[in-house]
Amino acid sequence: MFRKFAITLGAATMLASAAHADTITGAGATFPNPIYSAWAKDYKAATGNELNYQSIGSGGGIKNIKAKTVDFGASDKPLLPNALNDAGLMQFPTVIGGIVPIVNIPGVNPAQLKLTGVVLGDIFLGKVKRWDDPEITKLNPGWKAPALPITVVHRSDGSGTSFVFTSYLSLTSPAWSRAVGANDSVNWPTGLGGKGNDGVAAFVKQTPGAIGYVEYIYAQKDKVAYTLVQNSAGLFPMPDPVAFAAAAAKAPWGRAPGNYVLLVDQAGPKSWPITAATFILMYKNQDNAAKGANVLKFFDWAYKTGDATASKLDYVPLPLAVKNLIRKQWLQITAGGKPVYVSK
Amino acid sequence: MADAALTQASEGPQRIDDSPGASATGVKDAIFHGLCFTAAMVLMATLLGLLISLAVGGWPAFSHFGLQFFTSSEWNPSGTEDHPEFYGAAGPIVGTLITALVAMVIALPLAIGIAVFLVEFCPKSIERWVAIAVELLAGIPSIVYGMWGLFVLAPWFEEHVMTPLRLIAADHPGSFADHLMTGASSGSNIFTASIILAIMVLPFIATVFRELLLSVPSHVREASYGMGCTPFEVVSSIMLPYIRKSAVGAAMLGLGRALGETMAVTFIIGNSHAFPKGVFDSGSTIASTIANEFAEATGDLHTSALIALGLVLFVITFVVLAAARLLLGQEKH
Amino acid sequence: MATTENSPANTLPGRTVDRYARRKVINYIFIALTSVATAIAITALVMILYSLVAKGFSGLNLTVFTVDTPAGGEDLGSGGLRNAIVGSLLMCAMGMVLALAIGIMAGTWLAEYGDGNKLATAVRFLNDVLLSAPSILIGLFAYELFVVPFHGGSAIAGAIALAIVTTPVVTRTTEDILRLQSNQLREAGVALGAGKGLVIRSIIWRASRTGLVTGGLLGFARMSGETAPLLFTTAGNQFFSMNVTQPIASLPYTIANFALSADDNWRRLAWVASLLIAIAVLSANIIGRQLARGSQHK
């Protein structure tokens, strides 16, 4: 009886293993997960090919592509040019989005509270401990602040979102820059850690007095109140694709080696100060030409037809000029000396 | 035991086995024996392999940070120049020990109470059902405990325990409530994690205690009743001391389980590496740290630090479990 | 324990009566405390099962079994768990095959060939250590051996990790049940001329059949509830796959991801998945224990 079962099982698994050769695997940032999932669904409907994207955080994306356990990695934290060269990787952006601080304070609505980089730094350093602290009420004179303690929520995993947020804090808050610095995983002075953009939103949503930071779409879909943040012009723009696009308007794509571009605290009255592009990491030298071609086919398709979906999810698609620039860069991706990308 | 009988008896057949016709049986027996032996060796190799891979993987972290690995609570995976990479595991190690110990403080009295209730006081009609209920509690998978803790216990605790305490602490600075609330974060904290652990460990210890109490010879029990002892005195002065050594062993088995629990704790402990500032502060355990960070530890040092944490956990649970087995003697699941 | 009005206690000087009354009171308090302890445990069980059943069943619909895990942000009620269910079944099946094969053989070795053997004592001890080792460490070990060299997670790696967690359970129960078999059975077999291996296979194993099945069921119960070994070995897959060399979805992994999100639809599915796992584990446990009790009454 036992043997029969074993034989059937073996046969079944062998048959089952003749599977989807066209599936591309990717892993990384939770920042773009909503748009990559939507694109994957549409791509499968359009072409029948599958994209399996694991949203495990930018740190995981970098680790997995370095270990070659996925076909591409995804990270909001761009790698520096020498790190790219050392690893033999190249990176390119897909969409641009914004990061917003989210709060859970009784009576506070989205876009009501105003904060600055300095105040955010002090909150996340643990220096400002209650919502009725003068640093906060000074910026929000009309608001009756409750004597509610602040619970800081940050990321527990290695996160490009954290990298962008801490970069913003480092640029605007000298205290933060001295004490902590910017990276995808830092020595958070206080607070609890949520896993992924999801986890932070979840914790903030269920803890009165909490403050966290997430990619804009998570605040929308999870119905958590976000705050306004002062930009370099001293104004408080609404976080929306217009503000994100304004921040990205002068980005030096094409002039930045390795496409290393940071969009935090950009100039311009309409710019949202915590904007970021999210990147894809691929090996310049592909082991499997077909796999490499498939990955690029997907992103080419996304560039061509994915703009509407991206806009619907409040991401900013790349300008056409930048997309064409990237397509030229794809020619650097080769297998056995020949580029895998075939422009149509 | 079985073997002695067989070897004695097989001295006869072995002589018969010398004949050519029976040597095929001898070969088959040898193959079977060999397979069984191989399986046992695979088992042993697996454990030793586990130990070795933990030691080898964790060595870089140990040699890099030395004793500071155990004493520092700074956990800094970023590798910038002003803030170099540093992994001090004091936070997770302390978190592991605190949650396990608080869980035991909660669970042990309850477990003893349940075991005594089942053995001495429970009406025969419901005894079976109560025993089944305790077994069911033991059988619930840990991730279900995690879900319940995250979605039911943590919000309830936040709303009904922490918020009132916060109000009291705000109005009465310096009071006990104020001290209790130092560093308090949210409903996801060390204390609630300990509660979940306690509920998880409770049925396990209760079952073992019940079996131990049942193993007290009936003449000892009856003699004490015969002398006019109340059930309380029988249990506290006679039965519990009788099983004392095994009872401690059972408790340590429960402790071992609490130390290594991952999923139930990860959901509800708040994931903060710093040294917990108060009992309602968020923290982390070794298991939750590994679960959260391993999938994306990029630097070799980071990965090594996590594996080193694993080795520390292994050593702690190994010591506890070895002591438990010694105290419990041979048997008991 | 009843005392009548004329009992010695009542006719003795006051202090003895007081002492007796005090002992009675202490005893009643004790009974109350133990009852409260039991009530607490039962309450906890009821609360947990209630949440599980209420939230799990309310989110349950037919699509859970026919549709794969959804992307985030979808409407409440959409999406399912098909790929996760299939993945879990696949890995549990493979893991059980491995665990039963090694566990039963190793348990047999310990029971039949291992007496008075120092090596057997060591193996038994190490088996117990592995039995109680934190399963996340086993996940780490499986990652180092079966994920890193193969550049990726896979269902096979997950199955092996689960097997490592389960084998000690099977070994333990096998050894226990084989030792319970009466020596007369062995002697009878040998007297008929059977070699030791044949005695074990055709007599002892057969006699212990129920116990071995129980051990298998208990092992299965342990295996289906485990999450930590799957975290690093299977990598998850949002699509349906039966390819065992590739990442695969599983119920526990899905729960771990969905539960920690703020997406209501995902959280609904996390509860449904928890319910499914709990049903599998508790059924296996109950059936196993019933079988064990049944065989004891023979």
Q: C130: number of CA atoms within 13 Å, CB side?
A: 33
Q: What's the CA gap between B181 and B204, in Å, rounded?
A: 32
Mutate one of C260, C265, C266, C267 to test the A interface: name it (highest A CB count within 10 A): C260
Confidence check: pLDDT of B16 > 60: no
Q: Which of B33, B267, B294 sits opposite C259 (nearest CB)?
A: B267
Look-up: residue for tokens 């006699």?
C207
Q: Residue B149: inside a domain, yes or no?
A: yes
Q: Which chains touch A (3 or more CB pairs under 8 A)?
A: B, C
Mutate one of B75, B78, B284 to test the A interface: name it (highest A CB count within 10 A): B78
For A69, which DSSP code? -
Count of other CB atoms within 10 angstroms of residue B1: 10
Given pLDDT bands bounded at 50, 70 and 90, which one contains residue B8?
very low
Q: What's the CA gap between B133 and B119, in Å, rounded?
A: 15
Q: What's the CA gap between B84 and C192, in Å, rounded?
A: 75
Contact A194 B82 (CB under 8 A): no
Q: What's the CA gap between A151 and B188, in Å, rounded?
A: 11
Q: Which of A6, A196, A221 sits opposite C260 (nearest CB)?
A: A196
CB A316 within 8 A of CB A97: yes
**Nearest C-alpha of chain C: how many angstroms from A160?**
18
Nearby residues of B116 by Cβ (< 8 Å), 6 or more positions away: B213, B235, C34
Given pLDDT bands bounded at 50, 70 and 90, which one contains residue B81?
low
**Nearest C-alpha of chain A: how many angstroms from C278?**
24
Mean pLDDT of chain B: 84
Q: Residue B139: inside a domain, yes or no?
A: yes
Q: Which chains touch B (3 or more CB pairs under 8 A)?
A: A, C
Confidence check: pLDDT of B332 > 80: no
Contacts of A50 in chain C (CB under 8 A): 239
Contact A63 B296 (CB under 8 A): yes
Q: Residue B67: inside a domain, yes or no?
A: no
In tens, the pLDDT along C161-200 reads 999 999 999 999 999 889 888 888 888 988 988 888 888 8
Nearby residues of C20 by Cβ (< 8 Å), 6 or more positions away: C3, C9
Q: Which chains touch C (3 or more CB pairs under 8 A)?
A: A, B
Q: What's the CA gap between C226 and B262, in Å, rounded?
A: 10
**What are B65's two structure tokens?**
């940070």
Contacts of C238 in chain A (CB under 8 A): 37, 40, 52-54
Q: Residue B70: inside a domain, yes or no?
A: no
Contact B260 C136 (CB under 8 A): yes
B170 contacts chain A (CB < 8 A): yes
For C108, which DSSP code? H
Total residue length of chain C: 298
**What average pLDDT does the segment B53-70 reach?**
89
B241 alpha carbon, distance to own chain's centre: 24
Q: Residue B225: inside a domain, yes or no?
A: yes
Q: Residue B142: inside a domain, yes or no?
A: yes
Q: Strand pairing of A151-155 and A192-194?
A: parallel
Q: What is the largest CA-CA distance in chain A?
A: 78
DSSP reduced 3-state for A52: strand
Cα Rg of chain B, angstroms? 26
Mutate one of B163, B167, B186, B304 to test the A interface: name it (highest A CB count within 10 A): B186
Residue of C nearest to B306 (CA): C140
Q: What's the CA gap between C295 and A238, in Å, rounded?
A: 71
The CATH number of whichever domain residue B190 belongs to comes to 1.10.3720.10
Q: Which of A157, A187, A210 sits opposite B296 (nearest CB)?
A: A157
In tens, the pLDDT along C226-235 reads 999 998 888 7
Give per-10-residue mean pLDDT for chain A (344 aa): 50 44 82 88 88 84 85 92 92 94 94 94 93 93 89 88 94 92 86 87 88 92 91 92 90 88 91 94 90 91 92 90 91 83 69
Confidence check: pLDDT of C238 > 90: no
Give how many domains chain B has, as a whole number: 1
B26-45 residues touching A, CB cutoff 8 A? none
Look-up: residue for tokens 């990147």?
A279
Q: Residue B150: inside a domain, yes or no?
A: yes
**What average pLDDT does the segment B290-309 reach?**
84
B33 contacts chain C (CB < 8 A): yes
Q: Is the dihedral of CA A122, A127, A131, A137 positive or negative?
A: negative
Helix/strand/coil (H/E/C) assignment for every residue in chain B: CHHHHHHHHHHHHHHHHCCHHHHHHHHHHHHHHHHHHHHHHHHHHHHHHHHHHHHHHHHHHHHHHCCHHHHCCCEECCCCCCCCCEECCHHHHHHHHHHHHHHHHHHHHHHHHHHHHHHHHCCHHHHHHHHHHHHHHHHCCHHHHHHHHHHHHHHHHHHHHHHHHHHHHHHCCCCHHHHHCCCCCCCCCHHHHHHHHHHHHHHHHHHHHHHHHHCCCHHHHHHHHHCCCCHHHHHHHHHHHHCHHHHHHHHHHHHHHHHHCCHHHHCCCECCCCCCCCCCCCECCHHHHHHHHHHHCCCHHHHHHHHHHHHHHHHHHHHHHHHHHHHHCCCCC
CB C83 within 8 A of CB C240: yes
C52 alpha carbon, distance to own chain's centre: 18
- pLDDT score recorded for residue A238: 93
C169 contacts chain B (CB < 8 A): no
Q: Which of C109, C221, C227 sits opposite B263 (nearest CB)?
A: C227
**What are B25's two structure tokens?**
């049986």
Given pLDDT bands bounded at 50, 70 and 90, which one contains residue B10?
very low
Mutate one of B41, B47, B302 to test the C interface: name it (highest C CB count within 10 A): B47
Q: Is the dihedral of CA C56, C59, C60, C64 positive or negative?
A: negative
**Nearest C-alpha of chain C: how many angstroms from A130?**
25
- pLDDT score recorded for residue B11: 44
DSSP reduced 3-state for A145: coil
- pLDDT score recorded for residue C160: 94
Mean pLDDT of chain C: 86
A77 alpha carbon, distance to own chain's centre: 8
**What are C169's two structure tokens?**
């359970």
CB A130 within 8 A of CB A150: yes
CB C173 within 8 A of CB C214: yes
Q: What's the CA gap between B320 and C132, in Å, rounded?
A: 10
B58-97 residues touching C, CB cutoff 8 A? none
- pLDDT score recorded for residue B178: 76
Give me the domain span that covers residue B204: 85-327
**Torsion angle in degrees (nearest 10) through CA of B228, B231, B236, B242:** 80
Say yes or no: ipTM exceeds 0.90: no
Contacts of A208 in chain B (CB under 8 A): 158, 163
Q: Which amino acid is at C35?
A: S
Given pLDDT bands bounded at 50, 70 and 90, which one contains residue B292?
confident
B191 contacts chain A (CB < 8 A): no
DSSP reduced 3-state for A65: helix
**What average pLDDT does the segment C88-100 reach?**
94
Contacts of C68 in chain A (CB under 8 A): none
| Lowest mean pLDDT segment, chosen from A237-241, C68-72, C129-133 | C68-72
